[in-house]
Amino acid sequence: MLEPDREITCIDCGGRSFLLTPPREDRMWLVGDIVAYRCQDCLDRWDLVLEDDETAGDVPDA
């Protein structure tokens, strides 16, 4: 089942960033959902697109 990490590492400062986005009412997450994180140290916000584990990192053909 697809689910975003509750905590990630901030790319700017290396601090701890926590998930802001709640799940849908049905508690499901879908590929393509946008989730937001906020760093507790520098307060940067990160918006990330959820990807399927099987396709993460694939580079589309140009």
**Structural element, H or E, at residue 48:** strand 45-49
* CA atoms of 11 and 3, how far apart (whole Å): 20
The model carries a pTM of 0.79
* CA atoms of 33 and 27, how far apart (whole Å): 13
Q: What is the pLDDT of residues 1-46, one digit of tens each?
A: 789 999 999 999 999 999 999 998 999 999 999 999 999 999 999 9
Q: Is the pLDDT of residue 55 over 70?
A: no
